[in-house]
Amino acid sequence: MSPLTFIQDNIFLVAIAVGSGLMLVWPGFRQAGKPLGPVLATQFINREDAIVIDVREAREFEAGQLPGSRNIPFQELRARAGELEALKEKPLLLVCTSGVRAGQACAQLQRLGFTRLNTLEGGIDAWIRAGLPLKRSGK
């Protein structure tokens, strides 16, 4: 019996096996932390005195960032995590261009014991679409 014949004859069992496997690995693909849209992120920053960590590269950060944000590029996050050690219990908002790197950074920080993590859903792109201001770094 060929593998294709087995799959055709047992499609229901194969579907259950694939579905079970996906359910086991799905939590690993979910974004750590709570994603906040631009309006909720603004409220979070203002009401919770959240610290904004921008994980984009320096050139991206210089082009425009949320006011008061701090730049720690994602590629440097693990090496520079000590700079954030005193903020483990503080509310943090992680920001990137679209939300992907921020989610990955959030997962890294969660593994290091940070507890109050959120991400800007849709990243800087969503912030701009919402018409919210960016601060520009001048050289």
Quick: pLDDT tens for 85-104.
Answer: 999 999 999 999 999 999 99
Domain borders along the chain are 1-30, 31-129
Quick: pLDDT tens for 5-17.
Answer: 888 888 888 788 8
Looking at residue 138, what is its pLDDT? 59
Please tell me the CATH code under which domain 31-129 is placed: 3.40.250.10
Distance of CA 25 to the CA centre of its chain: 18
Looking at residue 13, what is its pLDDT? 81
Instruction: State the pTM of this model.
Output: 0.76
Query: What is the average pLDDT score of the chain?
Result: 88
User: How far are the Cα atoms of 17, 41, 99, 130 from residue 109, in angstroms, in the given order?
Assistant: 33, 19, 15, 27
Residue that the structure tokens 């203002």 belong to: 46
Looking at residue 139, what is its pLDDT? 47
Q: Which residues of the chain have pLDDT under 50?
A: 28-30, 139
